[in-house]
Amino acid sequence: MPEGHTLHRLARQQTALFAGRPVRVSSPQGRFAAGAELLDGRVLDRSTAYGKHLFGAFGGDVVHVHLGLYGTFTTGTGVPPDPKGALRMRWEGDGPDGAGVWTDLRGATACEVLTRPEVTAILDRLGPDPLRRGADGGRAYRRIAKSRTPVGALLMDQSVLAGVGNVYRAELLFRHRVSPFRPGHALAEDEWARMWADLVVLMRAGVKLGRIVTTVPADRERRRGPAALADAHYVYRRTGLPCRVCGTEVRTEEMVGRNLYWCPVCQAV
DNA sequence: TAGAAATGTTTAG
DNA sequence: TAAACCTTTCTAT
């Protein structure tokens, strides 16, 4: 479930549960064995997210995790379950109140120990992240405005904008009635300003809720409960279903190797 | 049991 | 532009 909101949520959770105390780090699967050995028993300073990257700082050594398409963390309290499947990295700690806490990582594209300069190198190639305080949406616009590439592709480019993935891309374009095929240079500056502001709101709600909901304000969605699950999106994964606004069938097509969803009428240009 | 799909990125050609 | 890779889960045979 990893777009930027997932990583920011994890960063907060890990900091709250593990930071300031020693963490037992292991790699039952073995693929992170060397890293686990280096970090085991050391104190976590804090976990931080930038875009879709998660960094756990243990002094000068930083665990860098990128979940890729299907990486997940599972977290719980008490005694951790017997390791099964490909359990890449496990953290066990004492928790803020002394009760046991643990978190398990599986399926990640990246799980490695980096030095501070290596972390900086990753951050240097990321565009602004709507979930970080002080992020400058204008920096993204400067890239968009001088490009002939379709906005649908630009929004997925992490060096333009960090943290947006396939769901936020589809939903943001629909909410602003922008065709994914429109060239970047044809996006007006005030149009982008509204899209950026909207992203900040949507992604913050995503962090709070733990999932992406773009059809209903987050507070209302929470009251509606699980019933709202079915209509959390306008177009994402709704191929062939009627557009929630105009009734036209939602279309899908591949763009830069990913499935793109849009309403050909609401997002005509 | 096999196959496909999934909220992603990197590398090879 | 295509393929590789990381793993789980759900569907079809």
For residue A84, the model assigns a pLDDT of 84
Per-residue pLDDT of chain A in tens (269 residues, 90 and over written 9): 689 999 999 999 999 999 999 999 999 999 999 999 999 999 999 999 999 999 999 999 999 999 998 899 999 999 999 988 899 999 999 988 989 999 999 999 999 999 999 999 999 999 999 999 999 999 999 999 999 999 999 999 999 999 999 999 999 999 999 999 999 999 999 999 999 999 999 999 999 999 999 997 544 545 555 445 568 999 999 999 999 999 999 999 988 889 999 999 999 98
Our CA dihedral for A140, A143, A144, A148, rounded to 10 degrees, sits at -160
Strand B and A167 CB separated by under 7 Å:
yes
Q: Which nucleotides of C are covered by protein (CB under 7 A)?
A: 2-8
**Which positions of A are catalytic?**
2-3, 52, 258
- What pLDDT shows up at residue A243? 94
Q: How far is the CA of A189 from the C1' of C10 (A)?
A: 43
At A223 the pLDDT is: 54
Q: Residue A150 CA to nucleotide B5 C1', Å?
A: 25
- Torsions phi, psi of A105, nearest 5? -110, 130
Q: Give nucleotides in strand B with any atom < 7 A to a protein C-beta.
A: 6-10
Q: What is the pLDDT of residue A231?
A: 83
Q: Output the distance from A240 CA to B4 C1' rounded to whole Å.
A: 20
pLDDT of residue A227: 47
**With a 7 Å cutoff on the CB, does A107 touch strand C?**
yes
